[in-house]
Each structure stands twice: as structure tokens, then as C-alpha cells.
């Protein structure tokens, strides 16, 4: 299902412009939404999930006009949503919580619902703790309950907002793999500020900054945009300065190796490096901050 967003604007309290004229096409499959904190990602996710109403603009999800009350209700019927701040009822067990959410999703056949709950508990590897109360679960286990509840109705549209925040590396990798598997036959929107999550799961992405769309394209496009702008500098002297951003610092035996993003004019001894998605993102955000929009056109 393709989602078309046109001129979407959301203004809070009459003066806080969280989204400012967003035009975006989200194709079927995994789609990444990237941006710093406060970029408007969560607002966009909430509007797409039918929780918030936009101030203006149009959203079409397949044949559904998602800006009307009827459309929002229709979206909710095909939606799986994992919010950034996932709330769970601590006094319910994992199975009870999923059963309750299943009822609220309209899975009214008790036997079919129980079967679906069991399938999902197995999918997220929580079947052995299904009878434990949620207040005893770790952050990673709660996230897995979150993804299970989102999948209960086999949604055609899955929205996950900052799903790996607070997870340890192993949990994060497990979660990414799970999302990748889900992206095959549905639209999955992954909103995050962690570039690596997008790099490992999405082919298409968009970047938001201060409520505006800064980039829309493929991960390869974003990587290409930083080509020729990424360098490694190995030195025993001070940290390189100038018009550049240090992306990483590696301490060697007697020297320090810096990976930097910037123009080539800043120093001698810099070796060009292959850009990563993170480099592309850093380059884009740098350009956005400098308002050098002409050097970084929307792709």
C-alpha cells in the first residue's frame, strides 16, 4: 500500500509548527524516517496512525483518505502501531495483554484470537514467559510485546516509532531482523534517530528536520550524496578543526584516527574514505544547518 502525503502541516497551540508543508510518498515495503529529536517524526507518525489530526494537507493511504474521520477509522482497522513511549498494563500477563488488545482490534472470535496470540508470542520469543506479569519484563521484552500487539491484526500498514530506543545491542539486532522479515508484504514505516537501524533495514527513507522534509530517496542516494566528503585523518596532534564534523574517533597505539565529514580544503594528510549512511546523514544535516540547500538538492 502506497501512502501519498501532500502539503501536510501540523501546528500546535497556534504557533508551534511541528510539520511544515510535507510532501512525501511512502512506497510498499520498509521505509525509514530519520531525523534529530524534535524534527517532527513522532508527529508525522501520530497523524498517520490517526491519533492526531493535521492542521492542513492531504494523506492518502491506498484508496483511503486519511484526513477524514471515516478515513482515520479505516486506517486504524489496517494499522499496527508501536508508539515511541509504549504503555503496557503492568498487572496483566503478556498473554492477557495481547488478548485484550486483540479484542480492541476487533478479533472477536475467541479461539482464533487465542491462536493468533500464541503465534505472535512464539514469533517474538516470549511464549515461555506468556503467563508472567508485564511488570516483571525487561525493556527489550516489553518492546517485543509491543511489536506482537502491533501485529495482532496482521496489519497492512505497520508504524514503529523509535522501536530500538533503550535496547541492548543484541536486542536491537534481533528487533531489526524481525522488522526486515515483516517488510516483505506490507508497508512498514520505521521512525528513528538511529541511522544504523535504517541502514540495516530500509531501502527507501526520508529525513525530517525542524518539521521540514530535507531528503527523500534511497539509502544509496544518501550515501552517494556524501561521496568525496568523508575522510580519515590519522594524527598524534590535536583534534582536526575547521569546517568539518568528526564522526568517529579511533585511538591507535600512538596516534588517533578521526573520521570526518566536510569539504576537502581543511587539512593535509586526509585520506578519502567510502561514505556510510551515517556519513550521508551527517553531511545532509550539516548542509541543512548551513542552509546550503543548493549544494544538496532533494533527490
Partner 1 sequence: MNHGIWPALCGATRYEFRMQLRRKSVWIATFVASLTVIAGLGNPWNFPHDTALPVVVAQWAVVCNAFLPIVFGVLLADRLPRDRRLHLPELLDALPAPSGSRLTGKYFGSAVATATPIFIIYFSGIIYMLADRHDPLAIPLGLSAFLAINLPGLLFVAAFSIVMPAILWVPLYQFLFVGYWFWGNLLSPSYGIPTISTTWLTPRGSFAAAGFFSHADEIMTMGGSTGSTWEGAASIALLLCSAALALFIAQRYLNWQRARQ
Binding stretches for partner 1 (CB under 8 A): 46, 49-53, 73, 76-77, 79, 81, 83, 85-92, 96, 100-101, 103-108, 149, 153
CB of 250 to partner 1, least distance (A): 39
Which CB sits closer to partner 1, 101 or 151? 101
The DSSP code sequence of 204-224 is EEEEEETTEEEEEEEHHHHHH
For residue 31, the minimal CB distance to partner 1 (Å) is 18
CA distances from 268 to 232, 243, 263, 271 (A): 11, 14, 12, 9
The residue (of 106 and 166) whose beta carbon lies closer to partner 1 is: 106
- As a whole number of angstroms, the distance between CA 44 and CA 9 comes to 9
* CA nearest to 295, candidates 225, 213, 218, 208: 225
What is the smallest separation between the CB atom of 154 and partner 1, expressed in angstroms?
10
Q: How far is the CB of 50 from partner 1 (least distance, A)?
A: 6
117 burial level (CB within 10 Å; 0-12, 13-18, 19+): buried
Closest CA to 30 of 260, 201, 149, 240: 201
* Least Cβ distance, residue 76 to partner 1 (angstroms): 4
Write the DSSP symbol of residue 239: P
Shortest reach from residue 67's CB to partner 1, in Å: 13
Strands (E) in the chain, as ranges, are 3-12, 16-26, 29-34, 56-61, 64-65, 79-82, 157-161, 187-192, 204-209, 212-218, 230-235, 244-251, 256-262, 271-272
Nearer to partner 1, 111 or 251 (CB): 111
**Based on CB atoms, which residue is closest to partner 1, 42 or 200?**
42
Half-sphere exposure of 36 (CA within 13 A, CB side): 11
Q: Which is nearer to partner 1, 37 or 294 (CB)?
A: 37
- Torsion on CA atoms 224, 230, 232, 235, rounded to nearest 10: 180
Say whether 226 sits in a helix, a strand or coil.
coil
| CB nearer to partner 1: pick between 10 and 286 | 10
Q: How far is the CB of 168 from partner 1 (least distance, A)?
A: 21
Q: Find the shortest distance in angstroms from Cβ 104 to partner 1.
A: 4
Q: Quick one: 46 or 286, whose CB is closer to partner 1?
A: 46
Q: How far apart are CA 49 and CA 105, in angstroms?
A: 14
Amino acid at each position: 500500500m502506497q501512502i501519498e502525503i501532500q502539503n501536510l502541516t501540523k501546528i500546535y497551540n497556534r504557533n508551534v509548527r511541528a510539520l511544515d508543508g510535507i510532501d512525501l510518498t511512502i512506497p510498499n515495503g520498509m521505509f525509514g524516517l530519520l531525523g534529530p529529536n524534535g524534527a517532527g517524526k513522532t508527529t508525522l507518525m501520530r497523524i498517520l496512525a490517526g491519533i492526531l489530526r493535521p492542521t492542513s494537507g492531504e494523506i492518502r493511504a491506498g484508496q483511503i483518505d486519511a484526513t477524514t474521520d471515516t478515513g482515520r477509522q479505516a486506517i486504524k482497522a489496517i494499522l499496527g502501531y508501536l508508539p515511541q513511549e509504549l504503555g503496557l498494563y503492568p498487572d496483566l500477563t503478556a498473554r492477557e495483554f495481547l488478548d485484550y488488545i486483540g479484542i480492541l482490534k476487533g478479533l472477536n472470535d475467541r479461539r482464533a484470537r487465542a491462536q493468533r496470540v500464541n503465534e505472535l508470542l512464539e514469533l517474538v520469543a516470549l511464549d515461555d514467559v506468556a503467563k508472567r506479569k508485564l511488570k516483571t519484563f525487561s525493556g527489550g521484552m516489553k518492546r517485543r510485546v509491543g511489536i506482537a500487539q502491533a501485529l495482532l491484526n496482521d496489519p497492512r500498514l505497520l508504524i514503529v516509532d523509535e522501536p530500538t530506543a533503550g535496547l541492548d545491542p543484541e536486542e536491537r539486532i534481533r528487533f531489526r531482523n524481525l522488522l526486515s522479515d515483516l517488510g516483505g508484504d506490507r508497508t512498514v514505516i520505521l521512525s528513528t534517530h538511529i541511522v544504523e537501524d535504517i541502514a540495516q533495514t530500509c531501502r527507501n527513507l526520508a529525513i525530517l528536520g525542524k518539521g521540514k522534509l530535507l531528503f527523500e530517496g534511497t539509502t544509496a542516494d544518501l550515501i552517494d550524496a556524501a561521496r568525496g566528503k568523508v575522510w580519515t585523518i590519522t594524527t598524534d596532534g590535536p583534534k582536526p578543526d575547521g569546517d568539518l564534523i568528526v564522526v568517529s574517533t579511533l585511538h591507535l597505539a600512538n596516534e588517533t584516527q578521526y573520521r570526518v565529514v566536510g569539504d576537502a580544503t581543511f587539512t593535509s594528510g586526509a585520506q578519502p574514505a567510502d561514505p556510510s549512511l551515517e556519513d550521508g546523514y551527517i553531511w545532509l544535516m550539516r548542509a541543512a544547518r548551513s542552509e546550503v540547500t543548493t549544494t544538496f538538492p532533494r533527490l
